[in-house]
Amino acid sequence: MRVNAGGRSFDTTPVFDTYWRFAARRQAVYEARLVGKPGPWTDDPILGAHRFTNCFRAADRVSQFLIKQVAYDGPQERDNLVFRVLLFKMFNKISTWTLLEQELGELCSSTFDIATFSAVLDDAFTRGQRLYSAAYVIPPPALGGQRKHINHLRLLTQMMETGLPDALTGAPTMQRAFELLRSYPAIGDFLAFQFLIDLNYTTVLDFSEMDFVVAGPGARDGIRKCFGPASAGYESALIAYMAETQEQHFERLGLAFGGLFGRRLQLIDCQNLFCEVDKYARVAHPTITGLSGRTRIKQKFQPVDTATPAWFPPKWGLSTAPENPSHDRSRVR
């Protein structure tokens, strides 16, 4: 089929319809686990064998931890919120945050001291503890430290001392807030956008997640698999097209998708889904190639015993009670 986005037309590949089927199936897995149904939660052999993130970024385990434990379960002053979110995101790893809290108590900007924090991390590093998430590369800024984590602590200091919290709250648009984050050393487009989304979960910022999007490398791969080489340079427009027309395509394919307790897929979610469909298509559509040329899905699915959390920014106004009608997957919203 042909779709229009960004002022031009694109021919879709078979991966385009797979995008919507994957979203419906992956959301069904999330909802089944949320209400405590026993596994397996899908009869899709690819979903059953490999690890994929949730359709909604905010529903993933690390995002859930950040929203509840980092953003809303601590001091709520603006500088503290920006400091805490950025400190967490420098490592993006729950165990690193937990270690710092256990050793140093409540983490806030007024008591932040590079020497003290780095001593805790140095000791953990020496013991062989992994400090950084493997989800994506967090490059170190060249700020003179011998170890990566010291340079990230120095970067955080630089951000706070140059008035980033004040600048962010004064940003008139989501894109301007992105540009502020992007201006710091070693913060490229992908990291700046990820940091922005996490800060936007807090009470510091309140932009719509439909305002602005940046396609990461994985998303660009997925977009190319859905729309072919002609998609180059139109990634943001194509992500917007997916978000704007989601109900149309779920209905066209006869797929049940009730959203996140009634919340539609936002730009960030559609961007993430392109990353996941890029991986899924390596097995489902091996002859359709992306930019990276990768042919395998590295991470295998391993179920965990802990309950799936569901705690979202209060400002979204979501009711996460199972009896909420918006949780009924029989409807296409």
Q: Where are the domains of the chain?
A: 2-60+211-327, 82-200
- Each residue's pLDDT, cut to its tens digit, for the chain (333 residues) gives 999 999 999 999 999 999 999 999 999 999 999 988 887 899 999 999 998 999 999 999 999 999 999 999 989 999 999 999 999 999 999 999 999 999 999 999 999 999 999 999 999 999 999 999 988 788 989 999 999 999 999 999 999 999 999 999 999 999 999 999 999 999 999 999 999 999 999 999 999 999 999 999 999 999 999 999 999 999 999 999 999 999 999 999 999 999 999 999 999 999 999 999 999 999 999 999 878 777 677 767 666 667 678 999 999 999 875 443 333 433 332
Distance CA 57, CA 54 (A): 6
Number of helices and strands in the chain (H, E): 14, 2
Backbone phi and psi for residue 250, each to the nearest 5 degrees, phi listed first: -60, -40
User: What does DSSP assign to residue 15?
Assistant: H
- Measured CA to CA in angstroms, residue 41 lies from 118, 258, 276, 303, 313 at distances of 42, 17, 18, 10, 27
- What letters, b where the CB count within 10 A reaches 16 and e where it falls short, cover 180-189? bbbebeebee
Q: What is the pLDDT of residue 271?
A: 98
Cα dihedral sign, 180-182-187-191: positive
Q: Is the Cα torsion angle 61, 64, 65, 70 positive or negative in sign? A: positive
CA distance 143 to 149: 11
Task: Identify the bridge partners of residue 8 per DSSP, sorted by sequence position.
Answer: 5
Task: Provide the pLDDT for residue 307.
Answer: 66
Q: Assess contact for 32 and 265: CB atoms under 8 A.
A: no
Other Cβ atoms less than 10 A from the Cβ of 193: the count is 22
pLDDT score for 295: 67
> How many other β-carbons are positioned within 10 Å of the β-carbon of residue 62?
18
Question: Which pLDDT value is given to residue 304?
Answer: 67
Spatial separation of the C-alpha atoms in residues 208 and 176, rounded to whole Å? 14
Pair 76, 43: CB distance under 8 Å: no
How far are the Cα atoms of 213, 232, 239 from residue 6, in angstroms, in the given order?
A: 14, 12, 10
Model pTM score: 0.92
Say whether 248 sits in a helix, a strand or coil. Answer: helix
**299, burial (CB in 10 Å: exposed 0-12, middle 13-18, buried 19+):** exposed
